[in-house]
Amino acid sequence: MQMRPVEEDLDTFPRVTTPDGRTLVNGGGIFPDLEVEGDTLTTVEQELIRSANEVEVPLGLRLAERSFEAARALEEAGEPAHLDDEILAGFVAGLMEEGLPEETVASQEVRDYLAWRLRVGIAQRMNDIGAEANFRQERDPVLEEAVRLLGEVTTQTELFEAAEERSMASRDEAEDQSGGGI
């Protein structure tokens, strides 16, 4: 007997209409009408990854290894998830020893990105979901906005009202900037 997942009929799911008039399958998004800037890699960060690949430095693996080592040391010391400057400096030095050009890792933007990746990795290895979420918010504007809104309300109804207020304020701001409106 072969096991197959039960097919779902999306037409049977309840639908909601957003204040902007979009119809969504219920449960399809937290704030579908809030505009939040993206969290993609910058050009400098993309260049770091390209350069690491070019010289065959396994950046993702090195980040995971160093995060694991740092997390283990922090747990043994009874300290919370964080990243010391010495750990970052040693990590960057190790990348250069493996062949990553100094000019690739010299910028503060690259070091900030590597530090962020290490902090997230350390929190993950320590199973510290709260710290991981806090670190992720540093670069994830959608998560940051979701947490901010959740911190302001106590019920789902209040959440939707807060999201609607935020959406209306964003639309008003966009109209003001474009010279639209009355």
CA triplet 146, 127, 122: central angle to 5 degrees? 90
Classify residue 160: in a domain, yes or no. no
pLDDT score recorded for residue 38: 62
Classify residue 36: in a domain, yes or no. no
Summarize pLDDT for 34-55 with one digit per residue, the tens. 555 666 788 999 999 999 999 9
Would the pLDDT of 147 be above 80? yes
* Counted domains in the chain: 1
Classify residue 73: in a domain, yes or no. yes
- Mean pLDDT, residues 47-67 taken together: 96
Summarize pLDDT for 73-90 with one digit per residue, the tens. 999 999 999 999 999 999
| Domain of 99, in residue numbers | 43-137
**What mean pLDDT is reported for the chain?**
84
Is residue 8 a contact partner of residue 141, using CB atoms and an 8 Å limit? Answer: no
